Structure 1
Amino acid sequence: MAISAEELGTEDIKKLLMKQALPASIGILFMSVNILIDTIFVGQWIGSLAIAAVTVVLPITFLISSLGMAIGVGGGSVLSRALGAKDREKAKTTFANQIMMTFILASLFVLLGIFFSTEMLLLFGAKGAIIAPAAEFFSPIILSVPFLALCMMGNNIIRAEGKAKFAMVAMIIPAFVNIILDIIFIKTMGLGMFGAALATSISYFMCFLFVLWFFVYKSELKLKARHFKLHLPILKEITELSFVTFSRQGVIAVLAIILNHTLYSYGGEHSIAVYGIISRMLMFALFPILGITQGFIPIAGYNYGAQNFGRVKESIQISIKYAALLASLIFVVILYYATPIVTIFTTDPKVIAETPNALRWVFAASPIIAIQLIGAAYFQAAGKAKKALMLTLSKQGFFLIPLVLILPNFFGIFGVWVAFPIADVLSTILTGYFLKKEMNTKLIKTTDGIL
């Protein structure tokens, strides 16, 4: 499946997209399966309140650990260009600075999480009967977040080195470890929420050990003590490029806070459990569309840089077509099998009664989301940071958050669920407008004669 950079500009777009999208899809699949099975285990073996507790806690841990992902993405760009320019010293200094940034910032946020755990849980929506299991889950897992942050940062650097298979293994390891330990700690030993947190924490640490092993024994970036010196120009460059990624995660965290508080106000604890199931299904069911989006970016970016605008346009059209087809098939499955899907997660009659229709509404606009995802990814690939940021944040930041704040005042809990497809439609229209304008102006020129 490995390809050379030159092939991005010459090989058939359909074949290229398959080669690029498949590894990305497999990695996302394992990550989403891990979260999905984890939710099933806590729902079936502990109860629906456990799903609600996990739904409250995970956005906190992912927000902190996303610092690592943002630093990995931003620094990975700096590092890749340094490697391409044969400047290995800059590449190594960049990597060392990424390690220091990630560890320091993640540890700082973890300390805040430890000292202000109650306030943080309340902020993210832990209310009523959710508080106790959320606190039990939060205490062990917060200590493992620096390891998760370093894993997310390191994974991007592994990809930047061109070692995609190792990056994939780094995502697979925590999935297997977490599932096995869930069975031992929750089912066999009866440790409840603490066991679930312990299993998750150990899985993060095992991922960290694999990433550490890679950089010690397999990486081309052999670091020396001299590289571990804060380099302000490199730090500035990493920070600027990391901003888009961390902004997106920040908006997702704000959305989680608003959703959890709104759901509790209008539906109580079980409505947060309902959303916990839906959010896991969103990640799991849409993994092939997200994989196509990830596979599309290097193809579009390379050909845009080479001014092969005809190939860029072709890659946009093919990616949207394939992603829309898959998204439509996924929606059909959700439409007809929503109830059986929900019963896999829980036996709580209230949750089973509410979740299927909510799931259908949240997925209602999924056949058109390919335009929004591919469109935003195009502007990222083309290096148009402002438009990429605006369109990436458009669904959650511009539309979904205001709709979740407004619609429940008129429609109750139904207003929360219907906000999702409305936000999808509005963000797709916005992205489609800018994408069509770009394709009719910028992408009409080409150096290879293909339109």
Structure 2
Amino acid sequence: MDKSRKLGEEKVSKLLMKFSIPAVVGMLVNAVYNLVDRIFIGNAVGSLGIAGTTIGFPVMMVIMAFGMLIGIGATSLISIRLGEQKKEEAELIAGNAMVLLIAISVLISTVGLLFITPILTAFGASKAVLPYARDYMGIILWGTVFQSIGFGMNNFIRAEGNPRTAMFTMLLGAILNTVLDPIFLFVFKWGMSGAAYATILSQAVSAAWVLYYYTGGGSQLKLRLKNLKLQMQTVGQIMALGAPPFAMQIAAGVLGVIMNRSLFTYGGDLAVSAMGVVMSVMMVLMMPVIGISQGVQPIIGYNYGAQKFDRVKDALKQGIMAATIIVCIGFLITMLIPEQLVAMFNRQDRELIKFGAHALRVFFIFLPIIGFQIISANYFQAVGKPKHAAFLSLSRQVLVLIPALLILPRFFGLDGVLMAGPLADLASSIITGIWLFRELKHLDTRHQESAA
């Protein structure tokens, strides 16, 4: 049986396991890039090194945002076209997407390297932290094209029904990064630059593997020369469907800047370092949920395109249940052993451990409901409704969290910065629940009409 056809015929629970487990592993591995860097930097360089990566993180989120704009946008479109049995159109989308990924990456690297100091200063770097952030990001920006190809095109592999290969791509880079980090930091003593070199070399290997997959004959979709010429209609469709995750990541980048500046204003460099630890833990907890959302996306997209709406609802329900189990486990861990989690990043800095543990407990109060919000918002992305998905994806960062970060600290100081997170989690989940309820009623109506 054709791999893509299985999406419409195999048992949904089996498909969810088949697609989500590799995606979860892959996304966890992706989180390792950030986590490992900060753990090794914290122990080799110190708290200011962690602050340097925290200040530079919004820049990395912008890079990933453009990878999502093209990569996830094209993936959604490819899944739907495969469900409609339109393989040639799917290959056109893949070819155009690769060209866009490379062109945008070169532009980001050029602009970032030309204006790195003013960018990092505007993003909240103090005089003490700026040298650390500049040493790290000055190298990371050279590897933008590797990150974009490795992340963006890896989604295509999953869309064509090959999630294990997609997982291997991310696993390959993360393992290499974990091996190179201690060598460059503790053996060669290259400091912040060493961590950055480890990251971009690992991303380069992942990108090379993805390109080999599409040129070595193992892929269902082929990269054909004729499809590398950009077609404006295809580009527009890719960007329209990629707009929600892109907007979410850009908003997250803006959010990171606002949060870093608020943290420095009310708590200094220590607070920035501690929130860097919190965000690293958050990434590890959220990446499995995002992995489930990526795993369920082609299942929902294919069956929606094939008008098998009962399977669409089944996949959505099971995705929400799996994501909720994961965030509940994460909630228990962060509430029970926060000090131990923070100590992994720097065992000597007692102030960092004390404030970091407090920040974890406050920031993750409503973590158990986040799985529902992410999977439900991604549903609209999977069925080709980018405006709905954009609104729900942005509801947390833009509609609630950014205003909360600007208002609450004026009344509650540093705790106000931390309280903004759970407030946004609660509000965005309520909004998403209302929208999803309305959408599922509409889906029931379409199912009844197609049955008749």
TM-score with structure 1 setting the length: 0.91
The one-letter code matched in structure 2 to 1:176 is I
Q: Report if the CA contact (8 A) 1:148-1:205 is conserved.
A: yes
The one-letter code matched in structure 2 to 1:271 is A
The one-letter code matched in structure 2 to 1:244 is P
What residue ranges of structure 2 are gaps of 5+ in the alignment? none
In structure 2, the residue matched to 1:287 is: 287
Q: 1:311 to 1:151 in 2, by over 3 A?
A: closer
Following superposition of structure 1 onto structure 2, how do residues 394-409 of structure 1 map, counting pairs within 5 Å? 394-409=395-410
Q: Report if the CA contact (8 A) 1:38-1:182 is conserved.
A: yes
Partners of 2:179 and 2:235 in 1: how far apart? 39
The one-letter code matched in structure 2 to 1:119 is P
Partners of 2:83 and 2:328 in 1: how far apart? 40
SS in 2 for 1:364: coil
Partners of 2:23 and 2:196 in 1: how far apart? 27
For residue 426 of structure 1, report the CA deviation from its aligned partner.
0.5
Segment of structure 1 superposing worse, 417-426 or 438-447: 438-447
In structure 1, the residue matched to 2:233 is: 233
For residue 79 of structure 1, report the CA deviation from its aligned partner.
4.3
The one-letter code matched in structure 2 to 1:232 is M
What residue ranges of structure 1 are gaps of 5+ in the alignment? none
TM-superposition CA deviations, 1:34-73 (whole Å, max 9, x none) = 3212211110111011111011113213312432332122
Q: Report if the CA contact (8 A) 2:244-2:381 is conserved.
A: no
The one-letter code matched in structure 1 to 2:158 is R
The one-letter code matched in structure 1 to 2:395 is S
In structure 2, the residue matched to 1:377 is: 378
In structure 1, the residue matched to 2:143 is: 144
Matched, 1:125 2:124: yes
Q: How many residues align?
A: 449
Matched, 1:443 2:434: no
Q: Report if the CA contact (8 A) 1:55-1:276 is conserved.
A: yes
Q: 1:177 to 1:342 in 2, by over 3 A?
A: same
SS in 1 for 2:337: helix
The one-letter code matched in structure 1 to 2:414 is I
For residue 362 of structure 1, report the CA deviation from its aligned partner.
1.2
For residue 285 of structure 1, report the CA deviation from its aligned partner.
2.2
Partners of 1:437 and 1:223 in 2: how far apart? 40
TM-superposition CA deviations, 1:125-152 (whole Å, max 9, x none) = 2113111111111212211112211222
Identity level (%):
37
Q: Report if the CA contact (8 A) 2:4-2:160 is conserved.
A: no
Q: 1:420 to 1:295 in 2, by over 3 A?
A: same
Q: 1:125 to 1:380 in 2, by over 3 A?
A: same
Segment of structure 1 superposing worse, 53-62 or 13-22: 13-22
Partners of 2:297 and 2:153 in 1: how far apart? 20
SS in 2 for 1:126: coil
In structure 1, the residue matched to 2:255 is: 255
TM-score with structure 2 setting the length: 0.91
Q: 1:317 to 1:188 in 2, by over 3 A?
A: same
For residue 369 of structure 1, report the CA deviation from its aligned partner.
1.7
Segment of structure 1 superposing worse, 296-305 or 261-270: 296-305
The one-letter code matched in structure 1 to 2:327 is A
TM-superposition CA deviations, 1:162-181 (whole Å, max 9, x none) = 33222111111111111111
Following superposition of structure 1 onto structure 2, how do residues 150-165 of structure 1 map, counting pairs within 5 Å? 150-165=149-164
For residue 3 of structure 1, report the CA deviation from its aligned partner.
8.8
Partners of 1:50 and 1:102 in 2: how far apart? 30
TM-superposition CA deviations, 1:346-368 (whole Å, max 9, x none) = 12122111011110111110112
Matched, 1:276 2:276: yes
Partners of 1:83 and 1:305 in 2: how far apart? 9
SS in 1 for 2:344: helix
For residue 423 of structure 1, report the CA deviation from its aligned partner.
0.6
Q: Report if the CA contact (8 A) 2:244-2:391 is conserved.
A: no
Q: Report if the CA contact (8 A) 1:155-1:211 is conserved.
A: yes
